[in-house]
Amino acid sequence: MLSIVNISKAYGEQELFSAVTCNIGARDRIAIIGPNGSGKTTLFEILAGNVTPDSGYISMRKDVTIGYAKQEISPFSQEKLIDNIIRSAASTAGLAHRIRIVQDALAEDNTGEDSSELLQELGDLQHKFEAAGGYTIEHDAEIILSGLGFTKLDFTRPLSEFSGGWLMRAALARLLMLNPDLLLLDEPTNHLDLESCIWFEEYLKSYQGAVLVTSHDRAFLNRVAAKIISIEKDEVIFYHGNYDDYMLARQKDIEIKEATAKTQEIKIKKEMRFIEKFRAKSTKASQVQSRLKQIEKIERVVLPRATKKIHFTFPEPAQGGDEVITLSHIRKAYNGNTVYRDLNLMLRRGDRAALVGPNGAGKTTLLKILAGVLPFESGGRKLGYNISTAYYAQYQLELLDPENSVLQELRGVSPDDPEQKLRGLLGAFLFIGDDVYKKVSVLSGGEKSRLAIAKLLVQPANYLLMDEPTNHLDINSREILNDALEAYHGTLCFITHDRTLIRQIANKIIEIKDGVPTIFQGNYDEYLTWKETALTMNQSEQNTQNKQPAKENSSREVARQRKTVEANLRNSYYRESSPLKIRITRIEDELSDLEPQFRNLENHFATPEFYRDTSEIAEATKKHRELKKTIDLLTEEYERLFIEAENKKLEFEKKLKNIDAEFAG
């Protein structure tokens, strides 16, 4: 369908890529990856015809249409959303316009000489319009808009009423309605919530054309892409498979190159020793020259730079109380629109809670209340004992002093730490060498985000809240953030649409829907399984209701009551079982540390050499006694808590069955 032939592009002395050649098939799903600034968007601009390559060319089949997601919608337009989206369907817009003209002409004079020709033309146009899907176009537009998170009430709202993020979704909807042969999607998921991301993935899987996409969302790339084009510093790599497949293959490639480079270096050193030894001897001159030429011909192996897992010890926050924060009967409204009526929520020490739910559900509002930066109409917010709070939001990038260097900005929050320690932290966040002397004013959005996060984590707060921390971050930077949050030992609550971050960090999911938080104690995949099970149950209930239309309203009310009772029971269970599970996990960690020490001592006692030093015997015996006592106490506590947790689980499951029986009757 389309061929990229030997294209190169540079800006000044910075070469983005050179001699790139590849073919794009009619149903290809290709991810373009690489760090920020590597040239991904430039490649899209070249394919869209907006930028000319320095060399090479693009060859495509006749009549191939290309849709580029870099579209803008006027934020001041009074046009209705649905009309704007329908108008973008190029295959039918011209036909619809011509049909209206012919209809107007017939209305003005339906007895003239040209009326028969006009009727014939109208029939032909209507046939073409139907074949192009014109009569289903409004339905198609509604499906796309609903999938991207718009409600039916939004369809007739003027564009001027939507925020920037929703206008970006509308631009994406326009592009999908255009239905081009090749979709160019530059970071399409940036403004989508999790539910819209999942819908969009399924839409792209069944899309009839080809798709080229850039994204920093690894889960999205894994589910959509079947080929990878990686723009790296010294080369462009092509790979068949998804992102994780590529990373595994890339790691193996790096290991092979490292081994090859090591072997090559040994060979070169060996040849150089011969040259240095016999350079001055005329009898060996020809051999020396021959070996010098051989060395010059060797194509040196260049090792690609890979992001390595950071190993930095962040300041240990002071230990606070077990109940970190409690919200009681919170009511919050904006301009008469109530977001929360009776909000009750508690976070405990060790929680790593991800707030999920559709855009507009109230996630950011809840996070701000938890952070103490947003007032509310009624209710109470209580911080636990010795709790210190740190809050990360996008506006913090604006608080960075543009005149400061990266190092000065970090020193501002950690003035007593030595420069070596600060540079170590900045190195962990990819500020290498002289990068620490860069002015904030010249940093990219991703670099500013990394710096703001580094400033946050260098302060020893034990309660951390983060609102979309992955915005502006490329994949490498997101990996660094994952590592940093794994190393953080405080309580964490965060919002993100990066499912990989949620999977790796969260141990609690709080779903916000219609102003009601539902707590799931577990990881993200377990939460999705629970959601899938709940969806299947709801569909089963709905099918039953459809078979009994006379009881539809009462059935819905019963189902609603059942969900409320079940949600209250589930939240109560998680509040009671959560501290038990946290303590059980901590005991397991302590025992896994103490038991090897105890076994090593006992093995030491079994060796004759041990008894030669009486002072060592006394000290080791004392330690052995203390370890045994501690292990016994922890084991006893573990068994007691485990039984208590199991009993609570059995009681919870029994109550669930009682609810089933009660509402079934």
pLDDT at 227 (0 to 100) = 93
Indicate yes or no: pTM above 0.85: no
pLDDT at 99 (0 to 100) = 67
Phi–psi pair at 332, nearest 5 degrees: -135, 130
The residues near 232 (Cβ < 8 Å, ≥ 6 apart) are 34, 38, 304
Phi–psi pair at 302, nearest 5 degrees: -100, 120
pLDDT at 305 (0 to 100) = 42
CA 8 centroid distance within chain: 31
The residues near 153 (Cβ < 8 Å, ≥ 6 apart) are none
Which residues of the chain fall short of a pLDDT of 50?
Answer: 71, 303-307, 550-551
Q: Long-range CB contacts (< 8 A, 24+ apart) of 159-164?
A: 159/73, 159/74, 159/75, 159/76, 159/77, 159/78, 159/79, 159/80, 159/81, 159/84, 160/75, 160/76, 160/77, 160/78, 162/75, 162/81, 164/75
**Separation CA 324–CA 571 (nearest Å):** 17
Query: How many residues would you count in the chain?
Result: 665
Which tens digit of pLDDT belongs to each residue from 543-562? Answer: 555 555 544 555 666 666 77
Which tens digit of pLDDT belongs to each residue from 496-546? Answer: 988 888 988 999 999 998 888 988 888 888 888 777 776 666 665 555 555
